[in-house]
Amino acid sequence: DEPRAHRIEAGADFFLMPSRFEPCGLNQMYSLRYGTLPIVRATGGLVDTVQQYDERTGEGTGFRFADLTPDALANTVGWAVSTWYDRPAHVDAMRRRAMAQDFSWESAAAEYERAAADPGRAGPARQGREQRAGDDCADQPEQHFMPMPQHRPEQPLEADEPEIGAHVTQGQQRGIQRA
Q: What is the pLDDT of residue 164?
A: 38
What pairing do the DSSP bridges indicate for beta strands 63-65 and 14-17? unpaired
How far is 65 from 83, CA to CA, in rounded Å?
15
Residue 84: count of CB within 10 angstroms of its CB: 17
**List of residues 6+ apart from 83 with CB closer than 8 A:** 53, 55, 63, 90, 91, 175
Most confident range, picked from 34-38, 119-123, 144-148: 34-38
Question: pLDDT, tens digit, for every residue of 36-85?
Answer: 999 999 998 899 899 999 999 999 999 999 999 999 999 999 999 999 99
Q: What is the pLDDT of residue 76?
A: 97
How far is 11 from 34, CA to CA, in rounded Å?
8
pTM score, whole prediction = 0.65
Region for 128 from its dihedrals, namely left if φ exceeds 0, alpha if ψ lies in -120 to 50, beta otherwise: left
Q: What is the pLDDT of residue 171?
A: 45
Taking the mean position of all CA atoms in its chain, how far away is CA 46? 7
